Structures are given as structure tokens and as C-alpha cells.
């Protein structure tokens, strides 16, 4: 299925590229996943509701081999609010509501709360030959349920990680005019995520079971996200994104407890690697109001999940 989606995306892009895109300044919304290289300017607001719908259909082992699992479905509704605080600093808050379901079971509720500060290091301004450089500092607050879970829900009611997480992201962005009639925008994110240790009891988001009580130390995560947007016509663009990450192993200390089968429970995980792709299509109504939709799917991974996600986002700046 991901291969069919990718082929369809490439055919659609080729059809658009056959047309003349014009020579005016291009519209770009930013890719599906990567953070923008530009802050909001002082006083500028951005409202950005969006939906993720995910089907997880497998897991991979330490040998990168796929193993099928019963489908797990997940929907997350975000409502991002972003405002420029100064000429060089902005703030984004991301409340979200999540629903999980699988094999007749369902759980829903508010997910962990996220806020992000952005610091503009360099702005291209009106000089299109220059690049944008930006750093963001993201904090995740563990506001969602993560332990004392209902064993009948099979982990679906674990809506958060229970850990304060700090992520620093360095962002590079630059316009490219290799094809004058179809300008491109290159965005690169390099990030590191530091999760704090978390106390867990009973069934929890990391595993666990009856009688589990201890401390989980989630692994540090390193992220690379490279995206290229291509202007097809004045108000249409496509984006292709490569998102990869490495997460160190997650460890547990304390009383393991017993799972539903009576075996010693586990709340730890090996290191994880995943390489994913995210093609998307951008549609502009005006420069300040636009829609972006696309898919995000796994291509290769170790000790991770196989998934496909549909993403739809509406953006309004004022």
C-alpha cells in the first residue's frame, strides 16, 4: 500500500510539473512533519487544526524483519496556536485529543500537552538567496494517563508517556531555484529528545502488569528530518519528506510484576531505528490560508512499528 501511494504521488507531481509555474514568489506551507525555518513575526498569530489517522499493522524485530499484528487504529486531533512574542522569539502550544481502538476495544482522552519556543538565529528576509536558521525548544508535559491502566484495554488507554520530555531542534531552510519556473524549498531538522525518568505502577504505557512498581528510563531519541517542497503552480506545491530516528534502549528498575498470562512482566524496550517517508500536497486559498494533506508511512525499521498515517491540516495566519 505505501508503494502504491508513493507511485500515485509521483504521477500527480509529474502532471503538475508539465505546466508553467510562473515566475512570482512561490507559496510554501512547510512540509507535513518538519518544523519551519521561520518564526512568527511579533504579534502574528497562527491557528492550525490538524488530524492524524494511523493504522499500525506490524512490528519489526532486531533483524529488521516484519511481523504482522492485529490492526491498531489511532486518531489524534491537534489544535496548534502560535504567536510571535518578539522579533526573534515565538511560542506554540499544542493541546491534543487522542482515540485508540483495536479488536472491539476503544479508549480516548487528552494526550500529553506540548509547548514550543522558537528562536530565530538568521532570517533571509527579502533576499531569496539567503537561508533561514532557527532553533526550537520543545517541552512535553505528562498530563495524560500512562499507568494504572485497565488490562482489558490491552494498552489502548495509555494516552501518554508519563515523562517530562525536552527536545532541541536545529532548523535550516533555503529556497532553491534550480528550475526557475518551479522553485523549491529545502528544510532540514536535526533534533535530540531527552525524556525524564518516570515512576510506573501496574499496567502502563511501557508494558508492566499486576504488581509492577518501579522506574522507567526512556531512551534518548535522535531525529533527522529532510524535506523538499516543489512549487507546481502559483497556489499548489508538493512535498517529499524523509524522517528517520534512533531511540536508545528503555530500561526499568523495580518490581516487574506479572502479565495477564502470569509471566514476568516487562517495562523495557531495546533500541529502535526507523526510516519513514511523508509525501504531501499543499493547496493555497490565499498566502495566509492554506491546506496541506498527505501520508506518512514506515519503509524500514528495527524493533519498531509498521504503520501508515493520513495527515490533514488547515493553517490560518493573521
C-alpha 153/C-alpha 101 separation (Å) is 9
Question: Can you give the residue ranges of every domain in the chain?
Answer: 2-317
Which segments in the chain show pLDDT lower than 50? 9-23
DSSP one-letter code for 31: -
For the chain, the first-to-last Cα distance in angstroms comes to 38
- Burial tier of 43 (Cβ tally within 10 Å: 0-12, 13-18, 19+): exposed
Cell (9 digits) for 31: 512540509
Residues contacting 205, CB < 8 A, separation 6+: 146, 147, 149, 155, 158, 160, 161, 162
C-alpha 144: how far from chain center: 18
C-alpha 310/C-alpha 54 separation (Å) is 6
C-alpha 59/C-alpha 227 separation (Å) is 26
Task: Tell me the HSE value of 307 on the side-chain side, using a 13 A CA sphere.
Answer: 20
Q: What pLDDT score does 8 carry?
A: 52
pLDDT digits (tens, 9 = 90+) for 75-123: 999 999 999 999 999 999 999 999 999 999 999 999 999 999 999 999 9
How far is residue 169 from each of residues 20, 24, 30, 106, 222, measured CA to CA in Å? 36, 31, 16, 34, 10
Which residue has 508538493 as its cell numbers?
Answer: 238
Please state which CATH number belongs to domain 2-317. Answer: 2.40.160.40
Verdict on whether the full-model pTM lies above 0.95? no
Amino acid at each position: 500500500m505505501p508503494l502504491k501511494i508513493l507511485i500515485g504521488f509521483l504521477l500527480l507531481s509529474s502532471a503538475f510539473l508539465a505546466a508553467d509555474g510562473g515566475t512570482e514568489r512561490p507559496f510554501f506551507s512547510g512540509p507535513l512533519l518538519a518544523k519551519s525555518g521561520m518564526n512568527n513575526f511579533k504579534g502574528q498569530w497562527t491557528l492550525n487544526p490538524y488530524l492524524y489517522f494511523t493504522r499500525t499493522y506490524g512490528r519489526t524485530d532486531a533483524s529488521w524483519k516484519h511481523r504482522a499484528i492485529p490492526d491498531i487504529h489511532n486518531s489524534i486531533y491537534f489544535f496548534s496556536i502560535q504567536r510571535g512574542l518578539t522579533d526573534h522569539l515565538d511560542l506554540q502550544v499544542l493541546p491534543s485529543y487522542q482515540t485508540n481502538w483495536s479488536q472491539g476495544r476503544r479508549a480516548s482522552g487528552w494526550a500529553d500537552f506540548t509547548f514550543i519556543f522558537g528562536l530565530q538565529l538568521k532570517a533571509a528576509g527579502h533576499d531569496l538567496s539567503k537561508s533561514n536558521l532557527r532553533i526550537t525548544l520543545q517541552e512535553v508535559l505528562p498530563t495524560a494517563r500512562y499507568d494504572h491502566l485497565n488490562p482489558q484495554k490491552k494498552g489502548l488507554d495509555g494516552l501518554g508517556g508519563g515523562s517530562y520530555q525536552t527536545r532541541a531542534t536545529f532548523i535550516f531552510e533555503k529556497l532553491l531555484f534550480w528550475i526557475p519556473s518551479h522553485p523549491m524549498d529545502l528544510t532540514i531538522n536535526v533534533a535530540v529528545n531527552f525524556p525524564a525518568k518516570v515512576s510506573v505502577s501496574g499496567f502502563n504505557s511501557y508494558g508492566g502488569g499486576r504488581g509492577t512498581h518501579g522506574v522507567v528510563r526512556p531512551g534518548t531519541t535522535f531525529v533527522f528530518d529532510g524535506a523538499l517542497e516543489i512549487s507546481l503552480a502559483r497556489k499548489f506545491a508538493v512535498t517529499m519528506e524523509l524522517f528517520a530516528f534512533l531511540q536508545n534502549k528503555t530500561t526499568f528498575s523495580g518490581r516487574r510484576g506479572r502479565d495477564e498470562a502470569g509471566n514476568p512482566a516487562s517495562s523495557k524496550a531495546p533500541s529502535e531505528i526507523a526510516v519513514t517517508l511523508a509525501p504531501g500536497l499543499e493547496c493555497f486559498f490565499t498566502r495566509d490560508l492554506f491546506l496541506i494533506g498527505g501520508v506518512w508511512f514506515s519503509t524500514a525499521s528495527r524493533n519498531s512499528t509498521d504503520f501508515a498515517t493520513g495527515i490533514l491540516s488547515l493553517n490560518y495566519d493573521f
